[in-house]
Chains A and B, each alone.
Chain A
Amino acid sequence: MDIVVCIKQVPDPEIPTSQFKVDEAARTVVPPPGVAPVISTFDLHAIEAAVQLKEQHGGKVTVISLGSSAVRDALKRAIAMGCDAAVQLEDAAFEGGDSFATAAALAAAIRKLDRFDLVLTGRQASDWDSGQVPSALAELLDVAGAVPVQKVEVRDGGLYVERVTEDGYQPITMPIPSVLGISNEINQPRYPTLKGIMASGKVPIPVWSAADLGLAPEQLGERGRRIILERLYVPVQESTCDFIEADTPQEAGEKLALRLREARLI
């Protein structure tokens, strides 16, 4: 089974939210300084799922990520966990892109590989939680897709997939190849072995640009966005507490009812 895993490097989600700042003018998030970024949480589960499938069925796992040279640490971690090859997508043209622009780049990269039987990503990224890339990838690659997924097995030349629903799961059969957005229920991502950590330093990681992917500038980055970010801010949460003054409980009850009526709550 040749599997592709798409991962994203994000600011550490374990940092207390109070430490993050928002630059409202530039509409960007400013994480606290000196904290190393990490692999997005659900992506770790996707890597683990891919490696487990490879261990069962043979084949090769390639991990791809879009970003600057910092993402190479994320790619190395994925290799230390058991991926065989990695590709970094880097280009100034990628900057400012949304999920769809990112998916366009990833899809082009996937098509550039020899072959694939399965594409796995995390169901959503730990920073923006948009959850669009898996579905967009499926559409662009013209294959079946399912999100979020808590189980995947190879059966009878196809895939048995369990898709998470609000109150349970949906069993589905899907063809090979497919795209799956992996959810955390599926596994416990492994800690890399020492051999893995050492090996990850030696695997070459090629860098592909927009030109390598044969993509036009309109599909990418700021220009390729389908979502316009209008405003980014930290909502101010306030609460006020009014005491209903009255002489008797009955009177208080009446006054409360009137207040709720005025507020159109009843």
Chain B
Amino acid sequence: MHPTSDMLGPIPTVLILWVLTLGALALFGRSVARLVRLLQAGQPEQRFDRPLARLLTVIEHVFGHGRLLRRPYSGLLHFFIFWGFVILTIGTVEHFAHGLFPGFTLPLLDRWPPYLFSQDLFNVLVLVGVAMAVYQRTVIRPPRLTFNEDALIILGLIAALMVSNLLASGARIALQPEPTDVWMPVSSAIAGAFAGLPRAAQEALYRIGWWGHVVLVLGFLVYIPHSKHLHIVTGAPNVYLRSSRPRGALSTIDIEKRLENDEPVGVSRIEQFSWKDLLDTYSCTECGRCQAECPASISGKELSPKYLILDLKDHLLHDEAGRLLAAKSDGQNGARGASGVETTHKEMVGDVIHDQVLWDCVTCRACMDACPVFIEHVPKIVDMRRHLVMEASRILPEFQKLFDNVEASGNPWRFPRASRADWAKDLGIPTLAEKPDAEYLFWVGCAGSYDERNVKVSVALARLLERAGVSFAILGTEETCCGDPVRRVGNEYLYQLQAQQNVETLQRYGPKKIVTACPHCFNTVGTEYRDFGVEFEVVHHVQLLERLIAEGKLAPRDRLDERLTYHDPCYLGRYHDVYDAPRAALRAIPGVELAEMERHRDRAMCCGAGGGHAFCEERTGRRINHIRVEQALEAKPARVATACPYCLMMFEDGTRAKDVYETLPVADVAELLERATRDEPSAVSRQQSADTTTS
């Protein structure tokens, strides 16, 4: 029995099928071609290195649903629908080939029991997945999901595809049973339900199912490029093309060259993004996992990473597509800053994306970590901030102050350069100039040098290094701000000035290893300075301390009978996967009980100080650090431990605001270890030892 061996009036149905199929493919092809042309308007970017690593990522995260399964309910339903799609595509190919080429049978798989069973099984599993999805969208209604038509249309189409498949399959078994049908239990059951019907009715049902499926598949094909289901096409490629740069390293641009060529230094128009940035906007499925993890969204700010990406997509496909496609056809290849036919021009930065949305970001990367298709939100935000800072000069007053301070005195608070090493003056710590062969350079950072609270951490770390017999030195007044805060805010120019100063100093001394107490310095000096042609072995103090404990050079003996919770700093955890070292260091202290917050490790919520926010006010919603203190309190700790000067400041500010400053002290891992290793006297005077306070 053959679905396209008959006639519809004078026209052979096989011809109708050919026309429909080719027509749908043509429409699909045209839409895709337009989308590709728009991608080509973006800037070039190299994303084709390391093919094996990229392939492994696709295997783990696309086929294996790595990130999706972090939310088990959603992950499972998507697993059914996704794998159903993959397995049933074979069936779809067979379906169409059978219709287009009478006499066609699927090589190898045709009548192969496991294949037959897989079709039936996944038809059902997909329906289960769809039912779970509908339930989630209509009953559970998580805030991250937008309840919209597009989603329900798609779910309806998918369900209809499955039903039509089963209908055709069941009717075929009723009309023309085969011995292998025993491997299709569901279709056989449906055939059983049709058994009592007259043959003509069974044939009608078969035709409805068969042609219904054709129309639905082709309709879906044509619809895909116009809906968020475009992610079917772009999702896996987007994961393949993920960034292979170290996570914390923003792009370093040649500012002089750009200005010489009159090219922009920030992004203010959609075509100034790279083609990969534009592909990101195609791949967004509106799942909202980014928004659910974003501290700004959680605390009621205007920024939602999901809407940021979707607004950029809309801007590309609706506001700017006409102009970009016209410019292309005129032969003006979308060069940076090229304008073409301008109609009512909406400013991407300002009108489409409000300034405040860009300022709200704390650069914690929770969004990027959560996204199943590896969309890169943070670099886009920083690129647009670079426009605001270096081109438009629309800067929050606090950030202007930050820039002036760093430029004038090499630290965010305008303390004099000459007093950068005052914290160490009575401790007998040599400078690298005095001891050039020191094994470690202790990079102190601005907070560790100038902030009263964080100086205590620097002192604690220095003592620990001495006790462990580690040879180290500091740069003293030759150290200047690493440039991280100004870079995150968007002042790439000032960052490069700062970086060049530090790189020059570091190259001159050539330290073998660097240890720092600040994850931001750790990230910037350790990974971002590589763009200036230098590479140092940089460790964060928790990594070194863990190693020293493991080697027996530090033996914590003094008890600390407390229940602690550890707050993962973003620039140590999500940025560099350092989760275990600080916990191991804390557990080495006798008496410590480590309790975890619900949001811990890669799901830890930012303290709110990143992205320059340590230096500006939050004016809307709740304060991020207050929310984080509440999360810490839920773990019922006696003390919070952390490993970052910003986190320390934000936590103490938060505990004060929430009136728990006395009951919930905050300390750095180094401070706690220092307290636990005091039975070993150091070269430092007894008096210094006595006046370190960790409350």
B408 touches A12 (CB 8 A): yes
Q: Find the A residue at minimum CB distance from B397.
A: A188
| Interface size in chain A (residues, C-beta < 8 A) | 19
On whether A191 and B403 interact (CB within 8 A), knowing A15-B416, A34-B416, the answer reads yes
On whether A32 and B416 interact (CB within 8 A), knowing A191-B393, A193-B390, A195-B391, the answer reads yes
B400 touches A191 (CB 8 A): yes
Taken residue by residue from 54 to 71, chain A's Cβ proximity to chain B (1 for < 8 Å, 0 otherwise) reads as 000000000000000000
A239 within 8 Å of B (CB atoms): no
Taken residue by residue from 186 to 221, chain A's Cβ proximity to chain B (1 for < 8 Å, 0 otherwise) reads as 001011111101100000000000000000000000
Residues of A close to B392: CB separation below 8 A: 193
Chain B contact patch, size range:
20 to 34
A38 within 8 Å of B (CB atoms): yes
A35 touches B409 (CB 8 A): yes
- Tell me how far the C-beta of B403 lies from the nearest C-beta in chain A, rounded to whole angstroms: 6
On whether A193 and B393 interact (CB within 8 A), knowing A38-B408, A198-B259, the answer reads yes
Residues of B close to A195: CB separation below 8 A: 259, 391
- Tell me how far the C-beta of A5 lies from the nearest C-beta in chain B, rounded to whole angstroms: 18
Cα distance A19–B409 when bound, in Å? 14
A194 touches B418 (CB 8 A): no
Within 8 A of A (CB), among B538-576: none
Residues of B close to A257: CB separation below 8 A: none
Number of A-B contacts (CB under 8 A): 43
Residues of B close to A194: CB separation below 8 A: 255, 259, 265, 390-391, 493
Taken residue by residue from 370 to 401, chain B's Cβ proximity to chain A (1 for < 8 Å, 0 otherwise) reads as 00000000000000000001111101010010
Interface centre among B392, B403, B418 (most CB of A within 10 A): B418
B639 within 8 Å of A (CB atoms): no
Cα distance A190–B389 when bound, in Å? 10
A14 within 8 Å of B (CB atoms): yes
Residues of A close to B418: CB separation below 8 A: 32-35
A197 touches B389 (CB 8 A): no
Q: Find the A residue at minimum CB distance from B417.
A: A34
Cα distance A32–B415 when bound, in Å? 12
Q: Is the interface of B mostly helix, strand, loop or mixed?
A: helix
Residues of A close to B493: CB separation below 8 A: 194, 197
On whether A19 and B416 interact (CB within 8 A), knowing A36-B408, A38-B408, A195-B259, the answer reads yes
Partner of A35, one of B255, B391, B395, B417: B417
B678 within 8 Å of A (CB atoms): no
Cα distance A188–B394 when bound, in Å? 11
Cα distance A224–B414 when bound, in Å? 36
B393 touches A192 (CB 8 A): yes
Residues of B close to A188: CB separation below 8 A: 397
B389 touches A191 (CB 8 A): yes
- Tell me how far the C-beta of B158 lies from the nearest C-beta in chain A, rounded to whole angstroms: 50
Residues of A close to B405: CB separation below 8 A: 14
Residues of B close to A34: CB separation below 8 A: 416-418
- Tell me how far the C-beta of A26 lies from the nearest C-beta in chain B, rounded to whole angstroms: 22
Cα distance A35–B397 when bound, in Å? 23
- Tell me how far the C-beta of A30 lies from the nearest C-beta in chain B, rounded to whole angstroms: 14
Cα distance A34–B417 when bound, in Å? 7
Cα distance A188–B418 when bound, in Å? 30
Q: Find the B residue at minimum CB distance from A196.
A: B393
Residues of B close to A14: CB separation below 8 A: 405, 408, 414
Q: Find the B residue at minimum CB distance from A192.
A: B393
Taken residue by residue from 487 to 508, chain B's Cβ proximity to chain A (1 for < 8 Å, 0 otherwise) reads as 0000001000000000000000
Q: Find the A residue at minimum CB distance from B493.
A: A194
Cα distance A90–B150 when bound, in Å? 71
Q: Find the A residue at minimum CB distance from B264.
A: A194
Q: Find the B residue at minimum CB distance from A15.
A: B416
- Tell me how far the C-beta of A185 lies from the nearest C-beta in chain B, rounded to whole angstroms: 14
Cα distance A34–B395 when bound, in Å? 28
Interface centre among A12, A14, A32, A38 (most CB of B within 10 A): A14
Residues of B close to A15: CB separation below 8 A: 414, 416
Cα distance A117–B400 when bound, in Å? 31
Q: Find the A residue at minimum CB distance from B405.
A: A14
A191 touches B395 (CB 8 A): yes
Partner of B391, one of A36, A38, A193: A193
- Tell me how far the C-beta of A200 lies from the nearest C-beta in chain B, rounded to whole angstroms: 13
Residues of B close to A197: CB separation below 8 A: 493
A35 touches B400 (CB 8 A): no
Within 8 A of B (CB), among A67-87: none
Within 8 A of A (CB), among B407-437: 408-409, 414, 416-418
Q: Find the A residue at minimum CB distance from B408.
A: A36
Taken residue by residue from 193 to 223, chain B's Cβ proximity to chain A (1 for < 8 Å, 0 otherwise) reads as 0000000000000000000000000000000
Cα distance A198–B408 when bound, in Å? 18
Cα distance A12–B415 when bound, in Å? 11
Q: Find the B residue at minimum CB distance from A38.
A: B408
Partner of B416, one of A35, A38, A198: A35
Cα distance A192–B493 when bound, in Å? 11
Q: Find the B residue at minimum CB distance from A189.
A: B400
Residues of A close to B408: CB separation below 8 A: 12, 14, 35-36, 38
Cα distance A194–B257 when bound, in Å? 13
Taken residue by residue from 27 to 56, chain A's Cβ proximity to chain B (1 for < 8 Å, 0 otherwise) reads as 000001111101000000000000000000
A190 touches B393 (CB 8 A): yes
- Tell me how far the C-beta of A154 lies from the nearest C-beta in chain B, rounded to whole angstroms: 23
Cα distance A190–B405 when bound, in Å? 15
Q: Find the A residue at minimum CB distance from B400.
A: A191
- Tell me how far the C-beta of B210 lies from the nearest C-beta in chain A, rounded to whole angstroms: 64
Residues of A close to B409: CB separation below 8 A: 35
Residues of B close to A191: CB separation below 8 A: 389, 393, 395, 400, 403
Cα distance A84–B235 when bound, in Å? 51
Residues of A close to B400: CB separation below 8 A: 191
Taken residue by residue from 436 to 479, chain B's Cβ proximity to chain A (1 for < 8 Å, 0 otherwise) reads as 00000000000000000000000000000000000000000000
Q: Find the A residue at minimum CB distance from B266.
A: A194
- Tell me how far the C-beta of B491 lies from the nearest C-beta in chain A, rounded to whole angstroms: 8
Cα distance A188–B393 when bound, in Å? 12
Residues of A close to B393: CB separation below 8 A: 190-193
- Tell me how far the C-beta of B156 lies from the nearest C-beta in chain A, rounded to whole angstroms: 52
Cα distance A34–B418 when bound, in Å? 7
Cα distance A195–B391 when bound, in Å? 7
Residues of B close to A192: CB separation below 8 A: 393
- Tell me how far the C-beta of B252 lies from the nearest C-beta in chain A, rounded to whole angstroms: 15
Cα distance A190–B414 when bound, in Å? 19
Cα distance A12–B418 when bound, in Å? 14
Q: Find the A residue at minimum CB distance from B386.
A: A194
Residues of A close to B265: CB separation below 8 A: 194
Residues of B close to A38: CB separation below 8 A: 408
Q: Find the A residue at minimum CB distance from B407.
A: A36
Within 8 A of A (CB), among B244-258: 255
Taken residue by residue from 135 to 155, chain A's Cβ proximity to chain B (1 for < 8 Å, 0 otherwise) reads as 000000000000000000000
Residues of A close to B395: CB separation below 8 A: 191
Q: Find the A residue at minimum CB distance from B418.
A: A34
Interface centre among B255, B400, B416 (most CB of A within 10 A): B416
- Tell me how far the C-beta of A43 lies from the nearest C-beta in chain B, rounded to whole angstroms: 14
Cα distance A19–B395 when bound, in Å? 31
- Tell me how far the C-beta of B478 lies from the nearest C-beta in chain A, rounded to whole angstroms: 12
- Give 8 nearest A-B pairs by CB, closest first: A194-B390, A14-B414, A191-B400, A190-B393, A34-B418, A193-B393, A191-B395, A191-B393
Could you give 13 example pairs across A and B, Cβ below 8 Å? A12-B408, A34-B418, A35-B417, A36-B408, A38-B408, A191-B393, A192-B393, A194-B255, A194-B259, A194-B265, A194-B390, A194-B391, A198-B259
Which residues of B come within 8 Å of A, CB atoms? 255, 259, 265, 389-393, 395, 397, 400, 403, 405, 408-409, 414, 416-418, 493
User: Apart from A14-B414, A34-B416, A191-B400, what 20 extra A-B contacts exist at CB < 8 Å?
Assistant: A14-B405, A15-B414, A33-B418, A35-B408, A36-B408, A188-B397, A190-B393, A191-B395, A191-B403, A192-B393, A193-B390, A193-B391, A193-B393, A194-B255, A194-B390, A194-B391, A194-B493, A195-B259, A197-B493, A198-B259
